[in-house]
Amino acid sequence: MEPVIKVTNVSKDYQSHQVLKNIDLTVNNNEIYGLLGPSGAGKTTLVKMIAGIETPTNGSISVLHSSMPSLNIMSQIGFMAQSDALYGELSGRENLEFFSAIYGLKGQKQKERIHQVSELVNLSKFLQKPVNQYSGGMKRRLSLAAALLHEPKILILDEPTVGIDPVLRQSIWDELYKLSKSGTTILVTTHVMDEAEKCGQLGMLRDGKLIASGTPQELKNVTSSASIEDAFLYYGGVQHEN
């Protein structure tokens, strides 16, 4: 097990407000690591720092053995933001062409990758349509496709399955498993408890603190809970009692 993401004692302040407090976490190669927590817990800030967009106030982050932020490493990260960062005037294909060109894909290789990722998210038939005519779920899928274009070693997905129907959600998770098996490390945030069970490793984030981490099974066993939700309540409750 080789660690590819290492977050060491990271804190993040916005003005006087502390968003993250002394976070330590490690994500190993090929792993699907889930960051579970309610909105406002600091999930997005944490993944943005790992993706190299934000910098921590204290502590350090290394990805693929390089200290972040690093433009070089960023070309090996696929990032899917919480908001669908797409250009509404452009068609689905034009959006994918733009993002793939940013990562240096061109010609035949570019066409192939656009074809592959759009098949994967089930959008091949809608690529000619302007994105502002897409439904919410279609936009989510196109965002995911854009993050996969350059075959990144590390995939960071911020709430990827919001607004996606259960059937498609299952197919996206199947795809994530496949990517993970073929060597991609995946970091995914979610506030949906049952989705957390699909992850190999889980970190529970609440009020800027990592309150627990382990495999979903471990977390349930230790707290003798029936579900992840109960486990989360257990750890959250401990915080309250202190």
Partner 1 sequence: MRIKALVIRIIRQFIRDKRTLAMMFIAPLFILTLVNLVFSSNDYEPKIGVISDQKVVDQLKSSDQAFTVYQNKSKAHQDLADEKLDAVIEVTFPSTTITLEGSNPTANKASILTIEKALKSIQTQDTNKIKGNSEIIYLHGSADMETFDYIGPFLIGFFIFFFVFLISGVSFLRERTSGTLERLLATPMRRWEMVVGYVLGFGIFTILQSAIIVSFAIYVLDIKMAGSIWLVTLITLMLAITALSLGTLLSAFAKNELQMIQFIPLIVVPQVFFSGLFSIETMADWLQPLSMIMPLTYGGKAIRDVMIQGDGLGMVYGNVLVLLVFSLLFMLLNVLALKKHRKL
Tell which one of 67, 83, 135, 215 touches partner 1 (CB under 8 A): 83
- Residue choice 21, 28, 94, 180 for contact with partner 1 (CB under 8 A): 94
Of the candidate residues 29, 62, 90, 173, the single one contacting partner 1 (CB under 8 A): 90
Host H or E run for residue 146: helix 136-148
Q: Does 193 bind partner 1 (CB under 8 A)?
A: no
Asked if 70 interacts with partner 1 (CB under 8 A), we say yes
SS3 59: strand
Mapping DSSP to helix (H, G, I), strand (E, B) and coil, where does residue 115 land? helix
Q: Which is nearer to partner 1, 27 or 105 (CB)?
A: 105
14 is a site residue for partner 1 (CB under 8 A): no
| 163 near partner 1 (CB under 8 A) | no
Helices within 39-89 (DSSP H only) = 43-51, 71-74
Residue in 2, 40, 101, 165 binding partner 1, rule: CB under 8 A? 101
Q: Is 58 an interacting residue with respect to partner 1 (CB under 8 A)?
A: no
Report angle CA 141, 147, 148 to the nearest 5 degrees. 90
Q: Is 74 in the site for partner 1 (CB under 8 A)?
A: yes
3-class DSSP state of 109: helix
Between 87 and 174, name the residue whose CB sits nearer to partner 1. 87
Among 3, 53, 62, 225, binds partner 1 (CB under 8 A): 53
Angle at 158 between CA 27 and CA 197, to 5 degrees: 60
Residue 55 as a binder of partner 1 (CB under 8 A): the answer is yes
Q: Which residue has the tokens 């707290």?
A: 223
User: Nearest-CA neighbor of 160 among 177, 142, 178?
Assistant: 142
> Interface residues for partner 1 in 117-136 (CB under 8 A)?
130
How far is it, in rounded angstroms, from Cα 106 to Cα 158?
Answer: 27
Interhelix angle 136-148/107-120, nearest 10 degrees: 140
Give contact residues for partner 1 (rule: CB under 8 A): 48, 51-55, 69-72, 74-75, 77, 79, 81-90, 94, 97-99, 101-104, 106, 130
